[in-house]
Chains A and B, each alone.
Chain A
Amino acid sequence: MFDSATLRLERANANEREADFVLKETQMIDTRIIRILADIVGKENVSTEKADRLCYSYDATQQKFLPDVVVHPQTAAEISLIMKMANAERIPVFPRGAGSGFTGGSLPTRGGIVLATERMNQIIEIDTENLVATVEPGVVTEQFQQAVEKVDLFYPPDPASLKFSTLGGNVAECAGGPRCVKYGVTKDFIIGLEIVTPQGDIITTGGPTMKGVVGYDLTKLICGSEGTLAIITRIIIKLLPLPEAKQTMLVLFDSIDGAAQAVSNIIGHRIIPATLEFMDGRTLDCVRQATDLQVPEAAQAVLIIEVDGDKEFLAKQAQKIADIIQPLGVVETRIARTAAESEALWQIRRSVSASLRKVNPDKFNEDICVPRSKVPEMIRKVDAISEKYGISIVNFGHAGDGNIHVNVMIDKKVAGEAEKAEKAIEEVFKGALELGGTMSGEHGVGIAKAPYIPLEITEKAADYMKAIKKALDPNNILNPGKIFLDQ
């Protein structure tokens, strides 16, 4: 039984509750447990209302699992108490940031407690001397970026969801974005954490120094662990000086091979652009169909290239890139001179999501990653799969790091299409693995990709990982059933 003394349980039970506090028993959780939770975080931060349970039942996978209770803690100490209680009572706990995940990491698949970090949204410190910041996990990515940019500092990781995703979610998924080709992914900027372990201890990993080799690198272990090994309560982030300026160019190619070759050649010339985004011919077809943006018929692939750095170098570098790629079947090159022009160039990329939807109602968005040079080969494989199953698949993504967003587009209402899509996706994963790639570059495994884990990870490697989980979370309380469905 759970030790009541430490958790002020006695007081919780003895205290008379105010009449307006709704106590509704749910399947897993009785009023006693709700009282304990209310005692830990305050009754206004615990809810068993159906409306709240519904609002915390989904994420961007559009799947839905009702939790029994939603809690909004504010401190590591509160989370520690929640985890201790959850262990004693064997109630699963599901950490949740903004619920923008694409693989269901935050979904309360086994009921229990959703632990939302929405109240933990303070930027604690931006240390301009050491170029290090400390934040709480619920801080929204873009808000953090804007705050550091105000003092001429720079936090590069830029998932497309940066306007709403949380840094806690970014760390848990090791999120990436266009700028990662030059600067690296989320974990490359995380140098320390404060975490609550599955059993409720508060520990710190790493610290505010650029170096540190004492003990195992737990910081890196937690990055990308999808909320299964710890709840992140503080994040120490390394920052860079803000580049003075950036320049954007958009290049239309007559083939995907030309675009891919361009990527290799640019990098071969020792230029690492801040961004190297591509869209394939099928994506452009959708954009042409759904918008009135200017995309010449001859264009079969597009690269959006952004270079950043000192002002004087940029124009020169952009010109150099234009020269390097000119022989590779370039249909047209557009270079932006102002911020507004740059925004106009991005318009094509930003219109993709809505365009796809206009053309097909449902899509499965996978984010495989292959070695950079294998991008054209991978796209040919995808084209073949698309033909085999007679369903439309479009590709776009981060050419610089071989991260391809493969979008399988169907209409779920048409019988058989969902099954076809599933088969096609499995073949896409296999194709990526054959080329030395991975099933997911950014979005993680969660539940969506969990069934495919054996394709990529050997049994021995999986056992190694599961042993870690088992040792740290013997009662399987924290985000159970994620990554490994059988956990």
Chain B
Amino acid sequence: MAKLKDLEDYRDEIEQCVKCGACRAHCPVFGAERREGRVARGKVALSQAVLEGEIDFEAKVMEDLSQCLLCGSCCAGCPNKVPTDEIVAAARRRIAKEKGLSTFGKGVAAILGRPRLMNSLAKTGGKLSALIFKKLPDNSGLRLRFPLPYLEAGRTLPYFTDQPFRERCPERIEGEPGKPTVAFFTGCGINYMYPAVGEAFLKALKFLGVTVIIPKDQACCGLPAVSAGATATVEALAEQNLTALTREPVDYILTACASCNAGLVKVYGDMKGDCAELGIKTRDIFVFLLEQGLAENLAELPSVTNPVRVTYHDPCHLRTQGITKEPRDILKSLPQVEYVEMENAGTCCGLGGTYSVYHYDNSKKIGAKKAGHISASGAELVATDCPGCIMQLQDSINHAGGKQRAVHILELLSEALPEI
């Protein structure tokens, strides 16, 4: 059985916080709103006070705990590596247990857990959301990212595909003998919003002769539910993915979405039960491509006379796992790309799973800073490795009146590779 840790299980980690305040330099939410309750140190202190029975989950405690992107930036910059993101997620689960899921959290659990609710949801929703919900199946994490308040806030959204990626492709694409076999964990973003990224993924692996399995019954990784504190939902999704991804033997499970990667590696990896295995096998696509020697292949491609200026945005869910070099290496070795590094490439885009649903204003503030850095870099394209970031980056650029486009590195890679 997949089982998430309780807040109680984080007692030791909480005690590791020496209250130094270093996280004030790293927490994007604190950057947007300079109050101690918004920073990791404050959230850890509140969690600690809850554990010690010093305070109850009163409104202000819940508000502060809701003000977290679960981005892990604080943990990466913390001298003692206190996992505030995990602590906050555990605290939210405890809130859900004690107080019941919040209205929004309830929506999360309902959508992911009980498919039939979808229709009634679509009925009560506005026109736009009904339109989107029609195209989204019941258990997609994207439903959590686009509830009503989100859609009404003047946001630019990507086009939703009529035919989800996993419905367009076969479940198994045979590669060359002697090459690895991988499972492609698509995640909701690629499946429903950016199927072209999925196509690009397949093209790259075909180029290398890798056998790809794309299980149709894979589900959302569950990260939005982690964010909402919906324990049972996360655990159920983990079980479903365990079944889907272990049906056939594979060497690796690949992701092209930073959040899904963190979901599989960190969330499942930390679970009590078999799901932890999934985490061990999971690789980010660019880590895999580099290991397979793709950079050398790319170096042999003829160079291009009019390269396009591209910069890279580090998705938090990769950066905090130390994956920063591999996506850049692939990007830099593309013949049509002139790479420029932007200032603060490693700061959060401001999406944070369900965060931007609750806190669109702060999310916009964080995004606006990012848009400024993108513009200052002089790049025409900002490439990244996460559909969620792409969506948020494009929204921020649009709000700032910029002309840049946000793309997935795989799309650029696909452009560069010869047709086969």
Cβ contact within 8 Å between A50 and B55 = yes
- Contact residues, A38-59 vs B (CB, 8 A): 47, 49-52, 54-59
Convert B39-83 into 0s and 1s, putting 1 for each residue whose CB lies closer than 8 angstroms to a CB of A: 000100110010000110010110010000000000000011100
Cβ contact within 8 Å between B21 and A164 = yes
Convert B1-33 into 0s and 1s, putting 1 for each residue whose CB lies closer than 8 angstroms to a CB of A: 000000000000000001111111100000000
Cβ contact within 8 Å between A164 and B46 = no
Whether a CB of chain B sits under 8 angstroms from the CB of A130 is no
With a cutoff of 8 Å between Cβ atoms, the chain B residues found around residue A163 in the complex are 22, 24-25
With a cutoff of 8 Å between Cβ atoms, the chain A residues found around residue B46 in the complex are 51, 54-55
With a cutoff of 8 Å between Cβ atoms, the chain B residues found around residue A100 in the complex are 20-21, 24
With a cutoff of 8 Å between Cβ atoms, the chain A residues found around residue B20 in the complex are 60, 100, 161
With a cutoff of 8 Å between Cβ atoms, the chain B residues found around residue A465 in the complex are none
Whether a CB of chain B sits under 8 angstroms from the CB of A354 is yes
With a cutoff of 8 Å between Cβ atoms, the chain A residues found around residue B81 in the complex are 354
The distance in angstroms between the C-alpha atoms of A61 and B46, with both chains bound, is: 17
Convert A446-467 into 0s and 1s, putting 1 for each residue whose CB lies closer than 8 angstroms to a CB of B: 0000000000000000000000
The distance in angstroms between the C-alpha atoms of A62 and B14, with both chains bound, is: 13
Cβ contact within 8 Å between B25 and A164 = yes
Cβ contact within 8 Å between A60 and B19 = yes
A142 interface neighbour in B25, B55, B64, Cβ under 8 Å = B25
B21 interface neighbour in A54, A60, A116, A121, Cβ under 8 Å = A60
Return A362 CB to nearest CB of chain B, in Å.
9
The distance in angstroms between the C-alpha atoms of A354 and B46, with both chains bound, is: 24
Whether a CB of chain A sits under 8 angstroms from the CB of B35 is yes
Number of A-B residue pairs at CB separation under 8 A: 79
Cβ contact within 8 Å between A118 and B45 = no
Given contacts A59-B19, A118-B35, contact A51 B80 (CB under 8 A): no
Cβ contact within 8 Å between B36 and A99 = yes
The distance in angstroms between the C-alpha atoms of A51 and B35, with both chains bound, is: 12
Whether a CB of chain B sits under 8 angstroms from the CB of A291 is no
Whether a CB of chain A sits under 8 angstroms from the CB of B164 is no
Return A207 CB to nearest CB of chain B, in Å.
29
Cβ contact within 8 Å between B60 and A49 = yes
With a cutoff of 8 Å between Cβ atoms, the chain A residues found around residue B60 in the complex are 47, 49-52
Whether a CB of chain A sits under 8 angstroms from the CB of B134 is no
Whether a CB of chain B sits under 8 angstroms from the CB of A122 is no
With a cutoff of 8 Å between Cβ atoms, the chain B residues found around residue A56 in the complex are 36
For A357, give the chain B residue with the smallest CB separation: B80
Return B194 CB to nearest CB of chain A, in Å.
34
Cβ contact within 8 Å between A60 and B18 = yes
With a cutoff of 8 Å between Cβ atoms, the chain B residues found around residue A59 in the complex are 19, 21
Cβ contact within 8 Å between A55 and B58 = no
For B77, give the chain A residue with the smallest CB separation: A163
With a cutoff of 8 Å between Cβ atoms, the chain B residues found around residue A50 in the complex are 55, 58, 60
Cβ contact within 8 Å between A62 and B19 = yes
With a cutoff of 8 Å between Cβ atoms, the chain B residues found around residue A140 in the complex are 24-25
Whether a CB of chain B sits under 8 angstroms from the CB of A380 is no
Whether a CB of chain B sits under 8 angstroms from the CB of A424 is no
Given contacts A50-B55, A55-B45, contact A98 B37 (CB under 8 A): no
- A: number of interface residues (CB 8 Å): 32
Whether a CB of chain A sits under 8 angstroms from the CB of B272 is no
Whether a CB of chain A sits under 8 angstroms from the CB of B403 is no
Given contacts A51-B64, A353-B79, contact A58 B34 (CB under 8 A): no
With a cutoff of 8 Å between Cβ atoms, the chain B residues found around residue A353 in the complex are 79
Cβ contact within 8 Å between B34 and A54 = no
Given contacts A50-B58, A62-B18, contact A55 B25 (CB under 8 A): no
Cβ contact within 8 Å between B80 and A119 = no
Cβ contact within 8 Å between A98 and B49 = no
Cβ contact within 8 Å between B42 and A55 = yes
- Contact residues, B261-311 vs A (CB, 8 A): none
For A49, give the chain B residue with the smallest CB separation: B60
The distance in angstroms between the C-alpha atoms of A58 and B34, with both chains bound, is: 16
Return A155 CB to nearest CB of chain B, in Å.
17
Return B46 CB to nearest CB of chain A, in Å.
6
The distance in angstroms between the C-alpha atoms of A46 and B25, with both chains bound, is: 24
With a cutoff of 8 Å between Cβ atoms, the chain A residues found around residue B18 in the complex are 60, 62
Return B420 CB to nearest CB of chain A, in Å.
38
The distance in angstroms between the C-alpha atoms of A201 and B64, with both chains bound, is: 36
With a cutoff of 8 Å between Cβ atoms, the chain B residues found around residue A119 in the complex are 34
Cβ contact within 8 Å between A98 and B79 = no
Return A139 CB to nearest CB of chain B, in Å.
11
The distance in angstroms between the C-alpha atoms of A163 and B30, with both chains bound, is: 13
Cβ contact within 8 Å between B79 and A58 = no
For B80, give the chain A residue with the smallest CB separation: A357
Given contacts A118-B34, A121-B34, A354-B79, contact A54 B25 (CB under 8 A): no
With a cutoff of 8 Å between Cβ atoms, the chain A residues found around residue B34 in the complex are 118-119, 121, 138
With a cutoff of 8 Å between Cβ atoms, the chain B residues found around residue A54 in the complex are 45-46, 49, 54-55
- Contact residues, A111-152 vs B (CB, 8 A): 116, 118-119, 121, 138, 140, 142
The distance in angstroms between the C-alpha atoms of A140 and B64, with both chains bound, is: 22
The distance in angstroms between the C-alpha atoms of A116 and B42, with both chains bound, is: 14
For A352, give the chain B residue with the smallest CB separation: B79
For A97, give the chain B residue with the smallest CB separation: B21
Cβ contact within 8 Å between B58 and A51 = yes
For A166, give the chain B residue with the smallest CB separation: B24
The distance in angstroms between the C-alpha atoms of A61 and B81, with both chains bound, is: 18
Cβ contact within 8 Å between B21 and A98 = yes
Q: A119-B34, A163-B22, A354-B79 are in contact. List 15 more A-B contacts (CB 8 A).
A: A49-B60, A50-B55, A51-B64, A54-B54, A60-B20, A72-B35, A100-B21, A118-B34, A121-B34, A142-B25, A161-B20, A164-B21, A165-B21, A354-B81, A357-B80
Q: Which 8 residue pairs spanning A and B have beta carbons closest together?
A: A163-B25, A51-B60, A55-B36, A164-B24, A100-B21, A55-B42, A118-B34, A49-B60
27 A-B pairs within 8 Å (CB atoms) are namely A49-B58, A50-B55, A50-B60, A51-B37, A51-B60, A51-B64, A52-B37, A54-B55, A55-B35, A55-B45, A59-B21, A60-B19, A60-B21, A62-B18, A62-B19, A98-B21, A100-B21, A116-B36, A118-B34, A138-B34, A142-B25, A161-B22, A163-B25, A164-B24, A165-B21, A353-B79, A354-B81
